[in-house]
Amino acid sequence: MHGEFKVPGGKLVVVDLEVRDGRIVDFHLAGDFFLEPDDALADIDAAIEGLPVETDAAGIAAAVRQALPAGAQLLGFTPESVGTAVRRALVTAPGWKEFSWEVVHEPPVSARMNLALDEVLTTRVGDGRRNPTLRLWEWNESAVVIGSFQSYRNEVDPEGAARHGFDVVRRISGGGAMLMAANSIVTYSLYVPASLVAGMTFADSYAFLDDWVLQALRSLGIDAVYQPLNDITGPHGKIGGAAQKRLANGGVLHHATLSYDMDGQVMTEVLRIGREKLSDKGTASAAKRVDPLRSQTGLPREAIIDRFIDTFTTLYGAVPGRITDEEYAEAEALVASKFATDAWLHRVP
């Protein structure tokens, strides 16, 4: 069995192994990482040799860490990444290039319609009725998008939202609120089959699915990194955050919002950002938490989106795609039955 895992921002970890009598045998680790001392590679191989095939990624990482000699230096990979590569080998997980990808970038629709399209397209990928897809959002109204499990009254100041012209909507994924001022952010959604992230922990899958955008940002001169669980950051602060929803049919929605030009003062008047939220970010001001892409690149928002599309297309061989009339109709029906209803918006009061 063969497994690979590209560490986000790091190196490629490759494992080859066999399974005999329920245990891992003939195990070999390889990759373009750096490791000192040299013979620590044999220590890692020996640590995994003989482990039960049921051992999860955390258990494999623990075995590797325990076997490493004192002072060992792992550069570009971690014991956890070895565990992920092993699990992917055991479930024969496919890589990015084993799928036919489409990129969709269509005219603006409402925030509710964007949310409904997320659910519709994820469902269709899970059912096998659509190729895995990257979609860049466009919208024609400012909105606050709160996470599936957030409390409406705890997260949003309705008077502030109304004063600044922000509609309030709820998405199907967890995570925190997104302030989506018109033409001020870059939002994308990935609709992928669960097999792409098979063998990964949730934390690993977040970074794995956003690695391409880190490469795009670095090509624009931004030293972007992933900060677990779901933040994309730069030298001057947070750039954006990601969220996920996994459907029972095997479809995975992964979407992220990156700030292009955020008004920090407006954010504090529309969102109720509590002290506890700020304390774990190490900052005293909500306005300082956002690091706009415009200030770092000097580029129009459209140019950044073009670079995202070019990077994704080059990496994974994606082709331009479109949303069908049938998919739009299904999303419109879902807006009426779900995303535009008070029952959905206030499902967590």
**What structural domains and CATH numbers belong to the chain?**
2-90 (3.30.390.50), 96-345 (3.30.930.10)
The stretch 207-234 carries a mean pLDDT of 93
Strand partners, 102: 133, 319
Residue 262 to residue 271: CA distance in whole angstroms? 13
Residue from 132, 136, 179 nearest 155 by CA: 179
Q: What is the pLDDT of residue 281?
A: 47
**Between 274 and 165, where is the model more confident?**
165
Among 123-127, 195-199, 259-263, the range scoring the smallest mean pLDDT is 259-263
Among 124-128, 267-271, 327-331, the range scoring the smallest mean pLDDT is 267-271
Q: What is the pLDDT of residue 285?
A: 45
Q: What is the pLDDT of residues 119-136, one digit of tens each?
A: 999 999 999 999 999 999
Tokens of 248: 């029972």
**Degrees, nearest 5: CA angle 252-125-139:** 75
pLDDT higher than threshold 70 for residue 276: no
Q: What is the pLDDT of residue 291?
A: 61
pTM of the predicted structure, to 2 decimals = 0.87
pLDDT band at 274 (very low <50, low <70, confident <90, very high): low
pLDDT higher than threshold 50 for residue 332: yes
The stretch 74-78 carries a mean pLDDT of 96
Q: What is the pLDDT of residues 105-118, one digit of tens each?
A: 999 999 999 999 99
pLDDT band at 79 (very low <50, low <70, confident <90, very high): very high
Residue 344 to residue 338: CA distance in whole angstroms? 6
Residue 171 to residue 329: CA distance in whole angstroms? 19
pLDDT band at 202 (very low <50, low <70, confident <90, very high): confident
Task: For strands 133-136 and 102-105, give the pairing.
Answer: parallel
Mind spelling out the 3-state secondary structure of the chain?
A: CEEEEECCCCCEEEEEEEEECCEEEEEEEEECCEEECCCHHHHHHHHHCCCECCCCHHHHHHHHHHHCCCCCEEECCCHHHHHHHHHHHHCCCCCHHHCCCEEEECCCECHHHHHHHHHHHHHHHHHCCCCCEEEECCECCCEEEECCCCCHHHHECHHHHHHCCCEEEECCCCCCCEEECCCCEEEEEEEEEHHHHCCCCHHHHHHHHCHHHHHHHHHCCCCCEEECCCEEEECCEEEEEEEEEECCCCEEEEEEEEECCCCHHHHHHHECCCHHHHHCCCCCCHHHHECCHHHHHCCCHHHHHHHHHHHHHHHHCCEECCCCHHHHHHHHHHHHHHHCCHHHHCCCC
Burial of 183 (0-12, 13-18, 19+ CB in 10 A): middle
pLDDT band at 165 (very low <50, low <70, confident <90, very high): very high
Edge-to-edge order in the sheet of strand 167-170: 167-170, 143-146, 178-180
Residue 307 to residue 138: CA distance in whole angstroms? 16
pLDDT higher than threshold 70 for residue 36: yes
Q: What is the pLDDT of residue 282?
A: 41
Q: What is the pLDDT of residue 262?
A: 84
Q: What is the mean pLDDT of the chain?
A: 93
Query: 229 preceded by cis ω (within 30°)?
Result: yes
Among 124-138, 261-275, 300-314, the range scoring the smallest mean pLDDT is 261-275
The stretch 16-28 carries a mean pLDDT of 97
Residue from 86, 315, 320 nearest 204 by CA: 86
The length of the chain, given as a count of residues: 349
Q: What is the pLDDT of residue 273?
A: 76
Residue 154 to residue 332: CA distance in whole angstroms? 29
The stretch 77-94 carries a mean pLDDT of 94
